[in-house]
Amino acid sequence: MKAVVVTEPGQTRSVRCTSLPIPKPESGQVLIKVAAAPIHPADLSIIKRIYGDKPQDLPAPGIEGAGTVLSSGGGLLGWLLTGKRVAFRPTKCGSWGEYAVARAKDCIVLQANISLEQGSMLIMNPFTCCMFMDVIKSKGSPAVIQTGAASTCGKMLFRYCKYEKIPIINIVYRPDQTALLRELGAEYVLCSSDSDFGEQLQALAGKLVPAVAFDCVAGPVTGQVLGCLQPGSVLYLYGFLSMRLVEEVQAADLLFSGKRIEGLILRDWIRQQGVMTGMRYAATIQRLFHEVFYSAVNHTFPLDDIQSALESFRTDRSLGKVLLTPS
Ligand SMILES: NC(=O)c1ccc[n+]([C@@H]2O[C@H](COP(=O)([O-])OP(=O)(O)OC[C@H]3O[C@@H](n4cnc5c(N)ncnc54)[C@H](OP(=O)(O)O)[C@@H]3O)[C@@H](O)[C@H]2O)c1
């Protein structure tokens, strides 16, 4: 089968499409004919070997996808899934190939009104937004701040907050992204490159009193956002799109105001919360898919064109995802 491999660990330019044997599912796993798989920021971190704390354990790129289950390696669930269209999280073989293997319990059967293209992005960002909503509700926060608001995940969280009638302050990093968010109907959009960004943020936060923030950017914006949250609030760091350190954190915010910065990873959250939470999220996402949890697609590429796909991924990601379409 055709599959994407990284021939020199850590080197994006060494990523290429090659021929590999079709993987064999073990007991509890299924073999999937992959229809579509997105390129996510985490895939680039996996290729660059900067994802997670044990780079030697990193899987092949392609952290999710969608396709049709061809066969089961054994077990009732796998047998039940055979022939079904599913969204899946693959095992270590990754989803950037004509075929992939996933644990049967890591597959979600797609409703008829969700395409395989859209289904290929149904897990990572939608589940993350469901996790965020659980956090917002458990903290009883009257409002929310998010950075990276023009990302796929950011736009989804904006739509979910709108659906739940929770005010959200959306922070973007370029002026053109402000217009993008406004076109989607966002009321509160701030651009971190504006000279008076700090004052605007303080004023809005003073009015809406958010007690949680979700930051996927890092760098100075992390400290600026933490600074305007209520005492006792939590800023959840869930990405580092700027590739910078966490900056501008005031010691007083941590020492005297009881504010905290915590890392938040979907994989660990689902592990802690258990299988019922995952099932609840999957049901919510499919129910609200066309209103909240869809993702825009900017470009699609065949596997052979992986270098063009990665090039396309480097620019204009606010316009939508880059998808690989193996078949
Ligand atoms: N912790 C978890 O479990 C978890 C789960 C899901 C997602 N995430 C994280 O969530 C973030 C968003 O993921 P996604 O799939 O939604 O991303 P995406 O659709 O690929 O979008 C990335 C966005 O980031 C913008 N961007 C690029 N560099 C930036 C910078 N220096 N400062 C601010 N924004 C910048 C891009 O803008 P332009 O390209 O237009 O310049 C684009 O709007 C990523 O960091 C991802 O790793 C984490």
How far, in Å, CA of 19 to CA of 3, rounded? 6
CA distances from 282 to 27, 77, 135, 251 (A): 24, 17, 17, 40
Alpha helices by DSSP H, 48-148: 76-81, 116-119, 124-139
**Could you tell me if 237 and 222 are in contact, meaning their C-beta atoms sit under 8 angstroms apart?**
yes
Torsion of CA 312, 315, 321, 324, to 10 degrees: 10
User: Which pLDDT belongs to residue 272?
Assistant: 96
Question: Which distant-in-sequence residues (6+ apart) come within 8 Å of 318 by Cβ?
Answer: 150, 151, 177, 180
* Spatial contact of 214 and 238, defined as CB atoms under 8 Å apart: yes
Predicted local confidence at residue 81, as pLDDT: 98
**Residue 298 Cα, ligand 1 centroid: separation in angstroms?**
15
User: What's the whole-number mean pLDDT along residues 118-141?
Assistant: 98
The yes-or-no verdict on residue 54 having pLDDT over 90 is no
pLDDT tens digits, residue range 57-90?
A: 778 899 999 999 999 999 999 999 999 999 999 9
Q: How far is the CA of 223 from the centre of ligand 1 (A)?
A: 18
Looking at ligand 1, which atom is closest to the CA of residue 239? 45
CA distance 53 to 39: 21
Residue 100 CA, chain-centre distance (Å), reads 20
Residue nearest to atom 9 of ligand 1 (CA): 239
Cross-strand pairs, 5: 16
Position 59 scores a pLDDT of 81
| Cα 177 to middle of ligand 1, angstroms | 13
Q: How far is the CA of 197 from the centre of ligand 1 (A)?
A: 20
Q: Of 126, 90, 119, 118, give the one whose Cα is nearest residue 3.
A: 90
Is 124 touching ligand 1 by the criterion CB < 6 Å?
yes
Ligand 1 pocket residue status of 41, Cβ below 6 Å:
yes
pLDDT in tens, 175-234: 999 999 999 999 999 999 999 999 999 999 999 999 999 999 999 999 999 999 999 999
Q: Tokens 């966002």 correspond to what residue?
A: 186
29 CA distance to ligand 1 middle (Å): 31
pLDDT recorded at residue 52: 80
Pocket mutation for ligand 1, best pick of 146, 151, 270 (most atoms within 8 Å of C-beta): 151
Residue 127 CA, chain-centre distance (Å), reads 8
Flag whether pLDDT at 312 surpasses 90.
Answer: yes
Mutate to test the pocket of ligand 1, among 147, 153, 178 (most ligand atoms within 8 A of CB): 153
Using DSSP bridges, classify how beta strands 144-146 and 168-172 pair: parallel, antiparallel or unpaired.
parallel
Task: List, for residues 137-179, the tens digit of each pLDDT value.
Answer: 999 999 999 999 999 999 999 999 999 999 999 999 999 999 9
Tokens in use for 317?
């990601």
List the one residue out of 326, 321, 299, 300 whose CA is nearest residue 3.
326
Q: Classify 94 in phi/psi space as left (phi over 0), alpha (psi -120 to 50) or beta.
A: left
Annotate 265-307 with DSSP letters as a single string. -HHHHHHHH-HHHHHHHHHHHHHTIIIII---EEEEE-GGGHH
pLDDT digits (tens, 9 = 90+) for 276-290: 999 999 999 999 999
Pocket flag, ligand 1, residue 317 (CB < 6 Å):
yes
> What's 22's DSSP letter?
P
238-286-73 Cα angle (round to 5): 85
The position carrying tokens 């704390």 is 53
Does residue 148's CB lie within 6 angstroms of at least one atom of ligand 1? Answer: yes
Cα of 148 vs centre of ligand 1, distance in Å, is 6
State what percent of residues in the chain have pLDDT above 90. Answer: 94
Q: Is 123 helix (H, G, I), strand (E, B) or coil?
A: coil
| End-to-end Cα, the chain, rounded Å | 11
Element at 6 (helix H, strand E): strand 2-6
Residues 6 or more apart whose CB falls under 8 angstroms from that of 92 comprise: 59, 60
With a 6 A CB cut-off, is 309 part of the ligand 1 pocket? Answer: no
